[in-house]
Structure 1
Amino acid sequence: MLKITRLILKVLLFVGISTFAQEKINVDDIKFVEFLEDSLKNELINEKTRNVFFKTSRTYWKNRKLDYNLHPEKYEKAMSLFHKNQQKYKRSIHKVNTKRKNRIENAVKNFQNFDDRNTFSKNSILFVGSSSIAGWKTSISFPEFSIINRGIGGMNMHEIINYYDTLIKKHTPSIVAIYCDIDVEQGKVPEEAVSAFKKLVNKIKSDFPKTHILLLSMKPVMVDDFIGENIRKNKMITNTQLLDYSKKEKNVHFIDLASPMLFSDGKLKTAVFIADGMHLNELGYSIWNPIIRNKLIELTN
């Protein structure tokens, strides 16, 4: 009888703790919505109010990115208010670009210094683009091929084109794999992003008419909606436009890496990301690797 009583007490205690935790979460959610509503009403926009908005929002979404991806309907009001505040407190583009410019320049210089001390096989396969390329262990993933990786985190298409001679042209690649979702994440519409891809493809075709070009689809990530409104939607529209473009161009191939990252119900496979919810972990790249390998084998044979 005593054991049964203790068991009942444990169950009641557990239920009580769970209920308290749920109530705390609900209170935090309500407080965040109230914070967003107050932020919209606030007429004072300066560095202090801007920092408060972004810091508070970053903490809130960081703790809920998994639940948000599983149950986005729970956060409709908060997300709508968040996006309105994002537009209101948007940071200076000039400051962001200055910081990016310095970082990209240093990364390119590091590649240049490395190239000056090393030689590469003729007809290498070149991977170029943003962080999905930079974090990809391509030489290990495709040991049967001569691989050059020129990925730089945060590099957009304009920057790839700007450093084209150093990143691409000097290597005379037989295949170029391009991944870059930064333009869309920076707020550009799909047409602008696709236009930049076309400009880069034309430069490669002009210098290397026989080179095959792989346009790797933009991936959905857990934090798409936290980056900005319609980011996920615009990535998928861009993918569709790149696919249509590739069908009309000789030696241009669109590679769908996004669909395998989704479950049959369209929900994102959250287990493929590292803690930041944006960059792929080994499981994520293990999904991509066989898709790319099959295409490389097809083209090299």
Structure 2
Amino acid sequence: MLALLNACAGGPPTAPVAAATPVAAQSAPRIPEQVSNPAWEADMRRFEAADAQSPPPRHGVLFIGSSSIRFWDTLAQDFPGVPVINRGFGGSELRDSTWYADRIIVPYAPRQVLIYAGDNDLNAGRTPQQLRADFIAFVERVRRDLPKTKLAYISTKPSPSRAHLLATQRQANALIQAEAKRYGVDYIDIFTPMLDATGQPDESLFIEDRLHMNRAGYLIWQREIAPYLK
């Protein structure tokens, strides 16, 4: 009991409390500093189970990020001859891929990583400046363990259901594009080609929810991304 009182009060812990410290260190990550949702643990375990059943190629081309990546069911056929790996997890933010890098990036030793993230972040209230900082943290995290891996950032897309974010997206994309140039990261603009003649999100590129893309939308992504694949 004394050990528990000391721990709660911030006093010097006794031996039993010190022994419990490793357990505390393994507790769920805090929110919002580290991840946007602790439920992503289920996705990580799903990936690990898939890898155990059918190991993906090492030194492949890894696509990670949010639902636009996860729902890209034709990824392999859209880039024939490229050893692609899809590790998108829907609803995720950029910082989530940073936090889970040791589970969805580093083990694959990819020759290239392409990330699509930022859309959900801005919709959740993160600022363009915060997204820029998250981008830098992602790049530095990957390069810590994989200094030779090529990186590419896919800009946020303009979706009809989030048209109110267009100005914020433009600002965030511009900030990240500048940092990408500074860090030697490829910046892939899919924002501009997904606008219609009036400068609004092209409704014809989306399914009924007006957020996720149909085949026409993915064909634009295929066209814009292909020149950057290493």
Q: TM-score, normalised by structure 2?
A: 0.80
Which secondary structure does the structure 2 equivalent of 1:223 belong to?
A: helix
Counterpart in 2 of 1:234?
A: 168
Is 2:215 the partner of 1:286? no
Is 2:210 the partner of 1:277? yes
Instruction: State the distance in 1 between where 2:180 and 2:99 align.
Output: 23
Counterpart in 2 of 1:22?
A: none
Counterpart in 1 of 2:153?
A: 215
* Residue 45 (structure 2) aligned to one of 109, 115, 130: 109
Instruction: State the distance in 2 between where 1:188 and 1:261 align.
Output: 23
* Counterpart amino acid of residue 182 in structure 1: N
* Counterpart amino acid of residue 274 in structure 1: I
Instruction: State the distance in 2 between where 1:269 and 1:182 align.
Output: 19
Counterpart in 1 of 2:27?
A: none
Instruction: State the distance in 1 between where 2:228 and 2:160 align.
Output: 27
Q: Bigger radius of gyration, 1 or 2?
A: 1
Any conservation in 2 of the 1:187–1:231 contact (CA below 8 Å)? no
* Counterpart amino acid of residue 213 in structure 1: L
* Counterpart amino acid of residue 293 in structure 1: A
* Counterpart amino acid of residue 114 in structure 1: A
Instruction: State the distance in 2 between where 1:280 and 1:171 align.
Output: 27
Matches within 5 A, 1:48-197: 100-102=37-39, 104-137=40-73, 138-180=75-117, 181-197=119-135
Q: How many residues align?
A: 195
* Counterpart amino acid of residue 168 in structure 2: N
Is 2:138 the partner of 1:200? yes
* Counterpart amino acid of residue 188 in structure 2: I
Q: Cα distance, 1:99 vs. partner?
A: 10
Any conservation in 2 of the 1:216–1:255 contact (CA below 8 Å)? yes
Moved more, 232-241 or 271-280: 232-241
* Counterpart amino acid of residue 258 in structure 1: F
Q: Cα distance, 1:117 vs. partner?
A: 2.2
* Counterpart amino acid of residue 106 in structure 1: A
* Residue 245 (structure 1) aligned to one of 158, 161, 179: 179
Any conservation in 2 of the 1:272–1:281 contact (CA below 8 Å)? yes
Instruction: State the distance in 2 between where 1:158 and 1:175 align.
Output: 19
Q: Cα distance, 1:221 vs. partner?
A: 0.6
Instruction: State the distance in 1 between where 2:104 and 2:63 align.
Output: 10
* Counterpart amino acid of residue 110 in structure 1: R
**Larger helix percent:** 1
Counterpart in 2 of 1:58?
A: none
Which secondary structure does the structure 2 equivalent of 1:116 belong to?
A: helix
Any conservation in 2 of the 1:124–1:175 contact (CA below 8 Å)? yes
Matches within 5 A, 1:245-264: 245-250=179-184, 252-264=185-197
Any conservation in 2 of the 1:128–1:178 contact (CA below 8 Å)? yes
Which secondary structure does the structure 2 equivalent of 1:101 belong to?
A: coil
Which secondary structure does the structure 1 equivalent of 2:209 belong to?
A: coil
Q: Where do 5+ consecutive residues of structure 2 fail to align?
A: 1-30
Structure with more relative contact order (C-alpha pairs < 8 Å, separation 6 or more) = 2
Which secondary structure does the structure 2 equivalent of 1:178 belong to?
A: strand
* Counterpart amino acid of residue 231 in structure 1: L
Q: Cα distance, 1:129 vs. partner?
A: 0.2
Any conservation in 1 of the 2:155–2:191 contact (CA below 8 Å)? yes
Q: Where do 5+ consecutive residues of structure 1 fail to align?
A: 1-93
Q: Cα distance, 1:122 vs. partner?
A: 2.6
* Runs of 4+ more than 6 Å apart: none
* Counterpart amino acid of residue 55 in structure 2: T
Instruction: State the distance in 2 between where 1:291 and 1:99 align.
Output: 29
Instruction: State the distance in 1 between where 2:162 and 2:120 align.
Output: 12
